[in-house]
């Protein structure tokens, strides 16, 4: 796999799959320097399919877990975007940048020294930023302001003021001792490694900014790695090099094979409470019909269930629990919800089985596109 340069953009040279990859979820360990769109483009070629999407952007500087949906799994991404996430990050105390990370231009250099009380003050600041917060997103985020991305307005020299949004920081802890170092401009600064467990929509760069303000010295991120999304961990992910090697080996086999993502059934079982349906119930759900509410009462929750969320226009978040209905053969038929004494499908995943099948689009009023911060 090569990564030609010189054009200002990355175009990954990866092999094209010999066969179209099955529908499913591909876990990729994104390297630094690539956009999430770059990875999606590579997955299209590796999987020999155009129907590819991802569940939550990672900035080019960041590394770690990116969930890639192939085929019908792209329909599930709406329900995975709102999953909680964990990160490891390196924070630099003593300097602020235009982007709140190392890719931006330094705007202030207050400097920072590892004085005796710094670890205690840092731990207190971390504790103060834990829990339910109103966070002002990074000005260089992808949030739209009057139809234009905030980062695009910043690049044009505009001042961008974004409204605070509710987020939850489940845990914000220090992974290392503070380390005295020197920035490239000679400023004495301090680096420290952190672990962040947070809700979807949290800007870790904004946490760095707020920590720097709390400590009075300014701060920015120098490294960020996503280690988990819902029930999926980066240790389970493939690098792009490993995915390319899998495709090359599959092309040379007889018969040829391709990428092997997690199946729709496995993804649904790991993410949502599972409901076992009999043949008649599975057929009814596949056709968009309603079932009694009691059907949902036998759902068995996974260890790390995902609760889909959607952010409203006012910034508040609505949580909408869903279940996964499984046919007797173990295949996932649909995602389900309950209400008004009925269990109904919100997303039918079973392959088309003939005329009269329900439309597999989400039911009106159910989850649609969810922007991930």
What is the 3-class SS of the chain, one letter each residue? Answer: CECCCCCCCCCCECCCCCCCCCCEEEEEEECCCCCHHHHHHHHHHHHCCCCEEECCCCCCCCEEEEEEEEHHHHHHHHHHCCCCEEEEEEEEECEEECCCECCCCEEEECCCCCCCCHHHHHHHHHHHCCEEEEECCCCCCCCEECCEEHHHHHHCCCCCCCCCEEEEEEEEEECCCCEEEECCCCCEEEEEEEEEEECCCCCHHHHHHHHHHHHCCCEEEEEEEEEEECCEEHHHCECHHHHHHHHHHHHHCCCCCCCCCEEHHHHHHHHCCEEECCHHHHHHHHCCCCEEHHHHHHCECCCCCCCCEEECCCCCEEECCCEEEECCCCCEEEEEEEECCEEEEEEECCCCCCCCCCCCCCCCCCCCCCCCC
Task: Give residue 293's pLDDT.
Answer: 92
Q: Which segment of 194-198, 247-251, 268-272, 355-359 scores lowest on mean pLDDT?
A: 355-359
Reported as a single tens digit per residue, the pLDDT across 216-238 is 999 999 999 999 999 999 999 99
pLDDT of 261 above 80: yes
**Catalytic site includes residue 101:** no
145 touches 160 (CB < 8 A):
yes
pLDDT value, residue 296: 93
Condensed to tens digits (0 to 9), the pLDDT of residues 337-350 reads: 998 899 999 999 98
Per-residue pLDDT averaged across 23-34, rounded?
97
CA atoms within a 13 Å half-sphere pointing along the CA-CB vector of 201 = 24
Distance CA 29, CA 236 (A): 9
Could you tell me if 46 and 12 are in contact, meaning their C-beta atoms sit under 8 angstroms apart? no
pLDDT at 317 over 90: no
Radius of gyration of the chain (CA): 23
Cα separation, 165 vs 296, whole angstroms: 33
- Which pLDDT does position 321 carry in this prediction? 81
Which of 102-116, 177-191, 260-274, 306-320 bottoms out in mean pLDDT, i.e. has the lowest? 306-320
How big is the CA angle at 176 (ends 165 and 191), to the nearest 5 degrees?
Answer: 70
pLDDT per position as a tens digit, 51-97: 999 998 999 999 999 999 999 999 999 999 889 999 999 999 999 99
Q: What is the mean pLDDT of residues 261-273?
A: 97
Per DSSP, what are the bridge partners of residue 13? Answer: 2
Q: How far apart are CA 84 and CA 229, in angstroms?
A: 6
Q: What is the mean pLDDT of residues 289-317?
A: 83
Given the residues 59, 84, 101, 191, the one annotated as active site: 59
């Amino acid at each position: 796999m090569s990564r030609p340069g010189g054009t200002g953009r990355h175009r990954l040279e990866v092999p094209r799959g010999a066969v179209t990859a099955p529908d499913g979820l591909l876990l990729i360990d994104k390297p630094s320097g690539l956009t999430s769109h770059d990875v999606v483009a590579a997955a299209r070629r590796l999987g020999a399919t155009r129907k590819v999407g991802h569940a939550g952007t990672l900035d080019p500087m960041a590394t770690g877990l990116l969930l890639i949906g192939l085929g019908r799994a792209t329909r599930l991404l709406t329900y995975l975007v709102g999953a909680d996430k964990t990160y490891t990050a390196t924070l630099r105390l003593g300097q602020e940048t235009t982007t709140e990370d190392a890719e931006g231009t330094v705007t202030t250099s207050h400097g920072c020294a590892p004085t005796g009380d710094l670890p205690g003050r840092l731990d207190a600041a971390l504790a103060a930023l834990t829990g339910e917060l109103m966070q002002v997103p990074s000005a260089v985020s992808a949030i739209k302001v009057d139809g234009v991305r905030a980062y695009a307005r910043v690049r044009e020299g505009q001042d961008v003021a974004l409204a605070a949004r509710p987020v939850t920081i489940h845990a914000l802890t220090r992974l290392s001792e503070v380390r005295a170092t020197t920035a490239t401009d000679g400023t004495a600064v301090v680096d420290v490694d952190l672990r962040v467990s947070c809700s979807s929509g949290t800007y870790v760069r904004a946490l760095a900014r707020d920590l720097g303000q709390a400590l009075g010295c300014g701060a920015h991120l120098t490294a960020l790695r996503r280690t988990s999304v819902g029930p999926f961990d980066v240790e389970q992910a493939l690098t792009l090099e490993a995915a390319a090697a899998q495709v090359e080996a599959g092309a040379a086999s007889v018969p040829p094979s391709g990428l092997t993502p997690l199946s729709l059934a496995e993804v649904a079982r790991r993410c949502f409470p599972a409901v076992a349906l009999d043949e008649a119930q599975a057929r009814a759900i596949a056709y968009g019909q309603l079932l009694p509410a009691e059907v949902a009462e036998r759902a068995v929750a996974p260890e790390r269930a995902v609760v889909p969320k959607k952010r409203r226009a006012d910034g508040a978040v609505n949580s909408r629990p869903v279940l996964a209905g499984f046919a007797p053969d173990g295949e996932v038929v649909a995602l389900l919800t309950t209400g008004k004494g009925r269990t109904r499908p919100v997303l039918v995943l079973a392959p088309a089985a003939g005329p009269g099948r329900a439309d597999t689009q989400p039911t009106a009023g159910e989850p649609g596109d969810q922007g991930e911060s």
